[in-house]
Structure 1
Amino acid sequence: MGKVVQGLQSGWFMREHDDSTTGSWLPVPQVPSQVHIDLLTNKKIPDPFVDANELAVKWIAEKDWVYKTRFITSRSSQTVTTDLVFHGLDTFATVTLNGTTILESVNMHTSYRVNISNLLNGTQENDLQIVFKSALLRGRELIDEHPEHTFHVRQTEASRIPVRKAQYNWGWDWGPILMTAGPWRPVVLEQYTARIDDIWTQYQVSPNLKRCSGHLYARLGAGVLEGDTVVLSLVYKDVEVVKQTCQVGLEGLVKTPFLLESPSLWYPHGYGSPARYELSAELFRAETKLDSQVKLVGIRRCELVQEKDDYGKSFYFRINGVDIFAGGSCWIPPDSFLAQMSKDRYVGWMRLMVESNQIMIRVWGGGIYEDDAFLDACDEFGILVWHDFAFACASYPVYPSFLTSLEEEARQNIRRLRSHPSVVIWAGNNEDYQVQERYKLEYDPEDTDPGSWRTSTFPARYIYEHLLPKWVQEEDPSAIYHPGSPWGDGKHSADPTVGDIHQWDIWHGQMIRYQDCAELSGRFVSEFGMEAYPHLETIRRVITNPGQQHPGSMMMDFRNKAGDHERRLMIYVAENFLVPSDLPSFTHVTQVLQAETMRYAYKAWRRMWGRPGARKCGGVLVWQLNDCWPTMSWAIVDYYLVKKPAFYAISRALRPLDVGIARACPIWTSGHADPMATNSCQFDVWISSSLQEAAEVDLTVKFISIRSGELVSETITTKILADANATTEVLENRCVNETQDPFIIHAVITVGGQVVASDTAWPQPLKYLDFSNRSVKVETSPSQDEITVSADLPVKGFVFEERQGLTLSDNGFDLVPGEKQIIQVTQGSISNGLGWTYIGANRSSEVVV
C-alpha cells in the first residue's frame, strides 16, 4: 500500500489535569493549539492581550493540562506500519494511547514519531491523551536538581534556562509572561508499508557559477527492504534535469551524483530571480510505488567574507559572487500563541520585507526554529535568513540529559532547514557571550581544549564552539556557522572591528543620541533599535478604558515591557521634540523619533558599505521587525501588521539607488543650547548603490529656509557616475554661507529624468524650529486610491494614521516646497476618513481626508 496520512485536527478536548469534575472537558476547535487559545475560545479567561489581563491568566502557568481525542483506524497488518507523528509538543508531555504510555517529551523544539501498530484497537476507537506538565514549575525543579551549574540569566527568571522551550514564554522586554502548553504543531497519523524519511542535496557551485556538482540524497525509514528502488530526480520549470534509479542498501541511505551546466541560481530579491528546483524521491517495490516526497530546493554559492582590512576584519555576505549589503530586520516569534499562526500571516510578514527593500531577516535565539511556512516564504521572495540556535541571554548547562535532548533538537532542525536556499548562516546563540562578560565567567580564547570549556564557569562555550559546529558540519557541510550573536573571534562582544555587534548604546547603555549613529558602526550591526508607539487604533484596541489612554498611564506603562522605558523614551523625546501630553501627539512624536533613528542609522551605516576591499559595515538589522502581541516596543510594524513610519524610513534608505546627507550637529558639543550651532552649515552628500552596474545620476542639492520656504544659498547641480554596488562620495565637508535663518538641506537624485531618491537634513534638534503655518494640502483622487500631499513650507514628519487592512505606498515623510508626495492606496478604504499630522501641527484643527 502507498502511504496514508491523516491529520488529527478535530475532535479534541482539553481541561486542567487535576480537574476531575464531570463534564469539565472543553471542546478544542482544532489542533495545533495551546491552552490559552482554548480557554479563551471557551470563555474561561479574558483576552490576555487586552488591558492587564496578562496578570489574570498567570495561574495557567502553574497548572498541568491534558488534551484528548479519539480516532479510528484499521489495525496494521504485518506489512503495514502505523505511526503517530507529533510535530511539536509544548513542552513536558506524556502521551498515552489506549492507556499505554508511548512517549515522554521534554523538548518543544523537536518532533516525535511513535510506532503504534501493536497498540491499536482494531476497528474500535483509540483513546489518545497528552498530559502537559507545567514548564515553569519543572524548570524550577531542574535548577534544584543541578546545583553544579549556576544559572546566570539576563532576562526574566532562571527557570527557563534548563527547559528546551521558547524562552520568550517567560516574558521579555517586549513581550508578556504567557507560559504556553499544548500540541502546538500538527499531530498526524501515518500508515505505510515503507516510507521515505528525508530528501536533500549537497552541492558546490563553481566560482564562475557555470557548473553545479553534488549529490541527491534520500534517507529511508521503516519498512524498506533490500531490493527496493528509489528514483531521485531534479526538475526545473517542468524539465527533468536529473533522474536516477538507485538500489536500496542495508544502510537505508541512497544518493546519486549530479552535474548541472549553467545552473539556474537562487538570488536574493533585487539581485536576480530566486530560482528553485523540484527535488523528488519515489520509493518502489517492484512496480508498486510505496511512498514519495517532494521539496523545492535552491542552488546558490554563499560565502561569509571575513578578511583583514584597514578597519579590522570584514563581515559580509557574498551570494553567487555578488557582495550583498544585508539591510534588514531581526525577527521575534510573531505571536505569543504560535499555534494560531497561519501560512498567510507568515507570507504577509515576508511581503513587508520585500516591500521595504529589506534583504535579510535574523531569527532571534529566544524563540523557535521557525516554521516551514516562514522559510518557504523567504525562499520564494528571495530573503536571506540568519538563524540563531535557540539560546538567548543566559548561561546554559551541559549536564548529560540536557545535551542529549539538545543534540536531537539541533540535528532535526538543521535537517529541516538545510534545503532552504534562504538560510545563509547559523549562529550559536543570542547574547550569551555578553552574559559571560557581565558575570565574569571563565573564557580564555587561547584555550583550545573543549573538555576544559565544559568544566569552566561558562560551560555553554562547549555547546557553541564544539558541539553545534560539529553537528552543523555533519548534517549540512556547506552551511556557515557563527558561534554567537554578537561574536568577534573571541574578542569582547562589543568590538566594532570584527564579527557582528549589537549596538545598544542607542536606547540602552550610554543612551547616545541617534544623530551620532555614524560613530557607532561595526563590521555588521545585527541589532539596534528605538522604541515607538503603534498607531492609535492598535493602542485603543488593547487599552479599552479611555481614562487610561494617555502617555504615562498605568496601562500604557504596564504594556511596555522595556526596562526603564519611561525614562529612556522621554529623554529621547525631550531632547528632540516639544513634549506633548495628549495620546495622538505623543504617539506621533515617538513614531517620528523612531523613523529619524532609522534614517540616521541605515543611511550612515550603509554609507560604510564602501567598495570592494573596504566594506567597513556589511549589514544592518533593526531590532525588531515585529511584535508577538500589541504593545509599545522597538518593532517597526505592530502585531496587526500595521506599519509605523520607521518602516518607510528603512525602505527609503535601502532603495537600490539612494542619496544620503550627513549634517554636522554641533549643538551638543558645547553642552548648552546655541542658536548658531543649531543651524549648522557643514554637510556631506553621498550615493549608495546596490545596482550591479554604474549609473549616471543627476544630483540637485537645495538649501531652503524653514521660515519662508525660499532658497538661502545657490543650488548645487551635478552629474555623477554612481559606482556599482558601492558608496560614491559626492560632496565632503562642504559648507554654505552661514545664515541665522534655519534651513534644510534637500538632495534629489534622478536617473533619466525620473526621481529615484531624495533626502532631507534638518537643523538639530527639531524642537528649536518653528513649524507654524505650514499650509499643508492633502487631496484625494476621485477613486480614492491616490493621495497627493504638498506644503508651502518645509514640513517634518508628515504621518497618516494607519490602521489594520490599509496599505499605503509611503508614510512618515518630509515635505519640501515645490514638490508633491503622491501616495497610492493599494488595499483598504479611506472613505471613512484618514487622519494625518506633522511636527508642529495643530491637533485640534486636524484635517481628515
Structure 2
Amino acid sequence: MATFAQHSLSSGWSFKDSDDQSPEAWLPVPIVPSVVQQDLQANGKLEDPFIGFNELSARWVNEKSWTYRNVFQKPEVPAGSSIFLVFDGLDTFAKVKLDDQTILESDNMFLAHRIDVTKLLEAGGEHTLEIDFDCALLRARELRKQHPEHKWVGFNGDPARMSVRKAQYHWGWDWGPVLMTAGIWKEVRLEVYSARVSDLWTEVDLAADHATAQVSAFAELETRGDASYQATFTLSLAGQEIAKQSSTPENNVAKVSFDVSNPSLWWPNGYGDQTLYEISVSLEKEETQVQQVSKKFGIRTAEVIQQPDKHGKSFFFRINGVDIFCGGACWIPADSLLTNVTPDRYRKWIELMAVGHQVMIRVWGGGIYEDESFYQACDEVGIMVWQDFMFGCGNYPTWPEILESVEKEATYNVRRLRHHPSIVIWVGNNEDYQVQEQSGLTYNFEDKDPQSWLKTDFPARYIYEHILPDVVKKTSPSTYYHPGSPWGDGKITSDPTVGDMHQWNVWHGTQEKYQIFDTLGGRFNSEFGMEAFPHMATIDHFVENEADKYPQSHVLDFHNKADGHERRIATYLVENLRTATDLETYVYLTQVVQAETMMFGYRGWRRQWGDERHCGGALLWQLNDCWPTISWAIVDYFLRPKPAFYAVRRVLNPVAIGVRREHHDWSVCHAQPPKTSKYELWVSSSLLKELVGKVELRFISIKTGLEIHDAIVHEDVKIVPNGTTNILEGVIDHAVDEPHVLAARVWVDGELLARDVDWPQPFKYLDLSDRGLEVTRISKTEKEQKLELSTRKPVKCLVFEERDGVRVSDSAIDIVPGDDQVVTITGLKPGDAQLTYKFLGQ
C-alpha cells in the first residue's frame, strides 16, 4: 500500500530576465522560497535596496518580467498513485509550464495551487519546470486602462494596485519602499499519493460553566479511485493521548466527536495558560497508514460584545466569559522581501509583545495572510489576532474574475488558519470605508440588496458585506466578522460611539496635542500613532556616509516615507522640547515624543475601560517595520525596541497607577501659565480579583528635588478587578507652588506594583540640568547584572542603549528622589562595554 510522499523542489533553480534570450542570461538561485531581488543580490546584480538610496537603483527590477527554471528527476510512483505539483504561493502573475506545456496560469499571490501532473510525467528521467512571472506593476496599469468605468481612488501607492491580488504595500506605502517582488515566495514540492487528508479542522462547543467541551473533528479526504479508507482521530494534550475514535468517511469527509471533561482553556497573555490540544488523523487502508496529519487548537470562546450603553454601543472582546481590554499593536509585513522572515524572527516579535503586556496584534490589510509560524507563535504566547482580509486604502474593482479570485483567496486562507485559537476576529478591509467617505462614493447602508451595490461607484461593498461574511460563516462559523476597520454599523468611520476607530488627529489630520490623546478616542481605537527615529545602530546600518548623519539629511528624509514628516516631527518637537542639531540627541528627542504620545493615549483609554467599557482596546500603529526606516513603529526592523515600547509596557502593566493634571494648552493662550490645575489619581487593574493596596502621591520640586507638600497616602484601598478605581482629585495652585512633578505609587501586600509621574507641560520650559542622577551596578552574574538608579532631582525618560542580544528590563524611565529603581540587564558578556544611556536635559 503506497503511503503519502513529498519531494521538495527547493534547490536546483535558475532564473533570468524574461526578455534576455542569451544562454548566459540564466543565473543560479541559492534556494526557494525566494523573491527576485534576493536572487539578484546573491548574484551580485543588485545592491541591498535597504541601504542609502539603493531603493531607487533597484526600481528597474519592478518593471521587468522574470523566468525561473528547474530540471528535476521524476520521483518513484507506486502503482495506483498520482503525482501532484504543489505551489503554496506564487508572486503574482505566474504561467507554469512543464516540459513546455502550460499547466497553470495564476494571478493571485494569496492562493495555493495543486496540479495533477501524473500524465505529463509518464516518461522517466528529467523534466523541465519553467515559470514566467509577468510584471505585476505593468499588468496592473494595463488592467486599470481596460476599466475606465471604475473610480480608481485610494491612499498610498499607484491606484492600479487595486486590480491585482498582490500584497499592496509592495507598491510603496507611507512607511515602506516600492519593491515589486516576484518569485516562488512559498514552498514548492511534488506530492505522490493515492489518498491524502486535504483538510483537518475542529469545531469546539464549550459549556457555559467551562466544565465540559465537545470537540468535533473533521477530516476532508482526497482519494484516487477506490475509496475504502478509514480515518482514526486522536485527541492529545501535552503529548498524552486523551481519546481515540475511528470513522468511515462519507462524501470524502470523516467526522468524530469527543467529550472533554474539565477542559484546560486557551487564554490570552496574562489571563491564564495558553493550553493547546492536538488533533491528529491517521488515514488508513487495509490496516496500513497512508498519511497522518496533526494540528493544534485551543478550547475557548471569543465574542465581540456590541450592546447599547450610555456611551453609544460597546465594542470589546470577551474571552471565555472574561472581558479583555485589548492593549496591543498593528502588524505590517516584517520585511519588504517576505522570504527574509524566518519562524524564529516571527517568534521574537510575538514574544516581545508578551513582554510588553500586549494581548492583541492586528494583521493589517495591505500586507499578507501571515505565515503559519506567525500564528503558531501567537497561539503559544497568548496574543489574540485581529485578522484583516487583504484590502487596504482603496476603492477595489469588482469585475467577475476578481470576485471569483477573492472568494477563492478568502476560502483558502480562512480554511488554512481556522484552527488557531489566537484568531478572534476577521475584518473585511483597512480604511476602504474611509476612502469611500473622502472620495464621496455611494454608500446607502439602508440598501440591503448586494446586487445593487455592484452597480454603484463603491462596488467593493459587495466584497466586504456579502462575499467575505459568507466565507467566514461557512468556513469558520464561530469567528466574528466585522466589515472593515474602521467601521461601525454603517455610520461615519470617525463616529466615536460605535465600532472601531482609526484616530489620526494626532500626527495627521488636525495635529492635536498628544497630551489630549485620550479625549479623541472611540469605542475601540484600532489605529493611532506617532513617529520616532530608530536607534543610532539602525541609522548607522542604512546611512553609509558620516557626512549624512545630521537630522535633516537627504538620506534620512528618503528613509521616511510619511508625507509631510518634516513638518509633523518639527511641530511636535518644537511644541514640547528644546530642540537639538546633533543627530544623536535629535533621535532621542523624537523617541521621547513618541513615548509620551503612546503613554497619554493608552493610559487614558485604559482608564476608560472601567467606565462601562467606554474604550474596549487600543492597537497602536505600528509594532514593526518592513525595512530599516523612520516610522511609527515602536520596535524597529532589527527588533530593537524604541522607548515607546517600554512606556506602553508600563501603562499595560496588570496593575497600573495613573496621575495626571489637566491639560493647559499653552500654544493658544500665548504661553500664559495657568493659575490653577486640577489633577486626578486612579488605579487600573486587569486582574480578576479585588486587591487591597496602599496608594501614595508625592509633590516633588523639579528645581530642588525636595517635597513641597506632605505626601498623600491612602491605606486599604480596594482596587476593583478588571476595571478602574478612582482614588482622588485635587488642585495645584501655581501662585503658591513651584513647578513640580506628581509622583504616584501603589503597593499590594508590601510589594510595589506600579509608578507614574506627571510633569508640567511642555518640557521645553523646564530646567532639567544638574539632576544628580546616579547609575550604580549592585550585582553581577554571568547571566545578568542589576543597576540601581537614584537621583537628587526628578529625571525624565532615562533611555538605555539598545544592543543586539542584550535586553533591559525597563527603559524610558522617570526617576524621582527617594524612589530608587532597579533595572536588570541580560545578555552582556564579560568584557562588553556597559550600556550607555540618555535622559532629558542631560
Q: TM-score, normalised by structure 1?
A: 0.97
Query: 1:749-788 to 2 correspondence within 5 Å?
Result: 749-780=746-777, 781-783=779-781, 785-788=785-788
Aligned residue pairs: how many? 836
- How far residue 257 of structure 1 moved from its aligned partner, in angstroms, is 2.6
Match of 1:659 in 2: 657
Task: Answer yes or no: is the 8 Å Cα contact 1:578–1:767 preserved in 2.
Answer: yes
Match of 2:809 in 1: 809
- How far residue 127 of structure 1 moved from its aligned partner, in angstroms, is 1.2
- How far residue 837 of structure 1 moved from its aligned partner, in angstroms, is 1.2
Q: Give the distance between the partners of 2:668 and 2:141, measured in 1 at CA.
A: 52
Q: Give the distance between the partners of 2:220 and 2:637, measured in 1 at CA.
A: 40
Of 711, 724, 741, the match for 2:721: 724
Q: 1:291 to 1:572 in 2, by over 3 A?
A: same
Match of 2:401 in 1: 401
Q: Give the distance between the partners of 2:215 and 2:650, measured in 1 at CA.
A: 40
- How far residue 736 of structure 1 moved from its aligned partner, in angstroms, is 6.2
Match of 2:279 in 1: 279
State the superposition RMSD in angstroms: 1.4
Task: Answer yes or no: is the 8 Å Cα contact 2:674–2:734 preserved in 1.
Answer: no
Of 636, 639, 652, the match for 1:638: 636
- How far residue 503 of structure 1 moved from its aligned partner, in angstroms, is 0.4
Query: 1:123-134 to 2 correspondence within 5 Å?
Result: 123-134=124-135
Match of 1:693 in 2: 689
Task: Answer yes or no: is the 8 Å Cα contact 1:778–1:790 preserved in 2.
Answer: yes
Match of 2:319 in 1: 319
Task: Answer yes or no: is the 8 Å Cα contact 1:704–1:710 preserved in 2.
Answer: yes
- How far residue 737 of structure 1 moved from its aligned partner, in angstroms, is 7.5
- How far residue 392 of structure 1 moved from its aligned partner, in angstroms, is 0.3
Task: Answer yes or no: is the 8 Å Cα contact 1:713–1:737 preserved in 2.
Answer: no
| Cα-to-partner distance string for 1:49-99 (whole Å, 9 max, x where unaligned) | 000000000010110011111221336355011111100100001111121
Match of 2:821 in 1: 821
Query: 1:101-180 to 2 correspondence within 5 Å?
Result: 101-120=102-121, 122-180=123-181
- How far residue 122 of structure 1 moved from its aligned partner, in angstroms, is 4.0
Task: Answer yes or no: is the 8 Å Cα contact 1:75–1:120 preserved in 2.
Answer: no
Deviates more, 1:115-124 or 1:170-179: 115-124
Percent identity between the two aligned chains? 47
- How far residue 27 of structure 1 moved from its aligned partner, in angstroms, is 1.4
**Which secondary structure does the structure 2 equivalent of 1:703 belong to?**
strand
Query: 1:255-274 to 2 correspondence within 5 Å?
Result: 255-274=255-274
Match of 1:588 in 2: 588
Q: Give the distance between the partners of 2:291 and 2:226, measured in 1 at CA.
A: 13
Q: Give the distance between the partners of 1:623 and 1:807, measured in 2 at CA.
A: 23
Matched, 1:220 2:214: no
Q: Give the distance between the partners of 1:353 and 1:742, measured in 2 at CA.
A: 36
1:742 maps to a residue whose letter is P
Q: Give the distance between the partners of 1:510 and 1:737, measured in 2 at CA.
A: 30
Q: Give the distance between the partners of 1:52 and 1:776, measured in 2 at CA.
A: 41
**Which secondary structure does the structure 1 equivalent of 2:558 belong to?**
helix
- How far residue 669 of structure 1 moved from its aligned partner, in angstroms, is 7.3
Deviates more, 1:568-577 or 1:99-108: 99-108
| Cα-to-partner distance string for 1:481-513 (whole Å, 9 max, x where unaligned) | 000000010000000000000000000000000
Q: Give the distance between the partners of 1:545 and 1:343, measured in 2 at CA.
A: 33
Deviates more, 1:153-162 or 1:14-23: 14-23
Task: Answer yes or no: is the 8 Å Cα contact 2:307–2:314 preserved in 1.
Answer: yes
2:160 maps to a residue whose letter is S
Query: 1:462-611 to 2 correspondence within 5 Å?
Result: 462-610=462-610
Q: Structure 1: 5+ residue runs without aligned partners?
A: 842-849
Match of 1:70 in 2: 71
Q: Give the distance between the partners of 2:400 and 2:827, measured in 1 at CA.
A: 54
Q: Give the distance between the partners of 1:62 and 1:567, measured in 2 at CA.
A: 33
1:465 maps to a residue whose letter is E
2:691 maps to a residue whose letter is A
Q: Give the distance between the partners of 2:299 and 2:682, measured in 1 at CA.
A: 35
Match of 2:18 in 1: 17
Deviates more, 1:227-236 or 1:175-184: 227-236
2:214 maps to a residue whose letter is S
**Which secondary structure does the structure 2 equivalent of 1:195 belong to?**
strand
| Cα-to-partner distance string for 1:251-288 (whole Å, 9 max, x where unaligned) | 21121233222222111111111111111111111111
Task: Answer yes or no: is the 8 Å Cα contact 1:76–1:117 preserved in 2.
Answer: no
Deviates more, 1:48-57 or 1:736-745: 736-745
| Cα-to-partner distance string for 1:112-131 (whole Å, 9 max, x where unaligned) | 01111111264412211111
Q: Give the distance between the partners of 1:328 and 1:21, measured in 2 at CA.
A: 53
Q: Give the distance between the partners of 1:339 and 1:652, measured in 2 at CA.
A: 34
Matched, 1:33 2:44: no
Match of 1:846 in 2: none
Match of 1:90 in 2: 91
Query: 1:377-388 to 2 correspondence within 5 Å?
Result: 377-388=377-388
Task: Answer yes or no: is the 8 Å Cα contact 2:518–2:602 preserved in 1.
Answer: no
**Which secondary structure does the structure 1 equivalent of 2:531 belong to?**
coil
**Which secondary structure does the structure 2 equivalent of 1:569 belong to?**
helix
Task: Answer yes or no: is the 8 Å Cα contact 1:806–1:827 preserved in 2.
Answer: yes
Of 723, 739, 744, the match for 2:736: 739
Match of 1:328 in 2: 328
**Which secondary structure does the structure 2 equivalent of 1:661 belong to?**
strand
- How far residue 734 of structure 1 moved from its aligned partner, in angstroms, is 4.5
Matched, 1:748 2:749: no
Task: Answer yes or no: is the 8 Å Cα contact 2:591–2:643 preserved in 1.
Answer: yes
Q: Give the distance between the partners of 1:31 and 1:616, measured in 2 at CA.
A: 49
**Which secondary structure does the structure 2 equivalent of 1:674 belong to?**
coil
Q: Give the distance between the partners of 1:514 and 1:800, measured in 2 at CA.
A: 24
Task: Answer yes or no: is the 8 Å Cα contact 1:74–1:122 preserved in 2.
Answer: no
2:753 maps to a residue whose letter is V
Match of 2:211 in 1: 210
Q: Give the distance between the partners of 1:447 and 1:827, measured in 2 at CA.
A: 60
Deviates more, 1:171-180 or 1:285-294: 285-294
- How far residue 545 of structure 1 moved from its aligned partner, in angstroms, is 1.0
2:65 maps to a residue whose letter is D
**Which secondary structure does the structure 2 equivalent of 1:793 belong to?**
coil
Matched, 1:704 2:705: no
Deviates more, 1:445-454 or 1:623-632: 445-454
Task: Answer yes or no: is the 8 Å Cα contact 1:232–1:244 preserved in 2.
Answer: yes
| Cα-to-partner distance string for 1:702-752 (whole Å, 9 max, x where unaligned) | 000000000011101012110011111111354467535210000011111
- How far residue 681 of structure 1 moved from its aligned partner, in angstroms, is 4.0
2:641 maps to a residue whose letter is K
- How far residue 242 of structure 1 moved from its aligned partner, in angstroms, is 3.3
- How far residue 26 of structure 1 moved from its aligned partner, in angstroms, is 1.6
**Which secondary structure does the structure 2 equivalent of 1:89 belong to?**
coil
Q: Give the distance between the partners of 2:396 and 2:640, measured in 1 at CA.
A: 36
Task: Answer yes or no: is the 8 Å Cα contact 1:428–1:464 preserved in 2.
Answer: yes
Matched, 1:182 2:183: yes
Task: Answer yes or no: is the 8 Å Cα contact 1:34–1:183 preserved in 2.
Answer: yes
Match of 1:617 in 2: 615
- How far residue 527 of structure 1 moved from its aligned partner, in angstroms, is 0.3
Match of 1:844 in 2: none
Deviates more, 1:533-542 or 1:231-240: 231-240
**Which secondary structure does the structure 2 equivalent of 1:23 belong to?**
helix
Match of 2:839 in 1: 838
- How far residue 367 of structure 1 moved from its aligned partner, in angstroms, is 0.1
**Which secondary structure does the structure 2 equivalent of 1:805 belong to?**
coil
**Which secondary structure does the structure 2 equivalent of 1:221 belong to?**
strand
1:641 maps to a residue whose letter is L
**Which secondary structure does the structure 2 equivalent of 1:351 belong to?**
helix
Match of 1:422 in 2: 422
Q: Give the distance between the partners of 2:745 and 2:625, measured in 1 at CA.
A: 34
**Which secondary structure does the structure 2 equivalent of 1:161 belong to?**
helix
